Amino acid sequence: MKPEFDPLADAAHFEISNAKVAVTKEIEPGVMGDYDADGHLVGVEVLANSKRCANAPLRQSA
């Protein structure tokens, strides 16, 4: 799994597989799932992290 955090966008992305993304669907408000052509989850993006994790500051990965 490859986690990334973009502090300017306040978004975290978790790459589960390096498969090509065929479609992105909203799983719940502010949480997007990336799926390959076979319908397998290959990534997740979480938006508005500072509002979701007010007590746990996130740091950008190196």
By DSSP bridging, strand 11-15 and strand 41-47 are antiparallel
In a domain, 58, yes or no: no
pLDDT at 55 over 90: no
Give the span between the Cα atoms of 59 and 35, in whole angstroms: 26
Number of domains the chain is built from: 1
Give the pLDDT score at 34. 98
CA torsion sign for 44, 49, 55, 57 is: positive
Residue 24: domain span: 2-50
Alpha helices in the chain (DSSP H): 49-52
In a domain, 24, yes or no: yes
pTM: 0.76
In a domain, 42, yes or no: yes
Residues paired with 35 in a beta bridge = 23, 41
Give the pLDDT score at 2. 85
How confident is the model over 25-39, as a mean pLDDT?
96
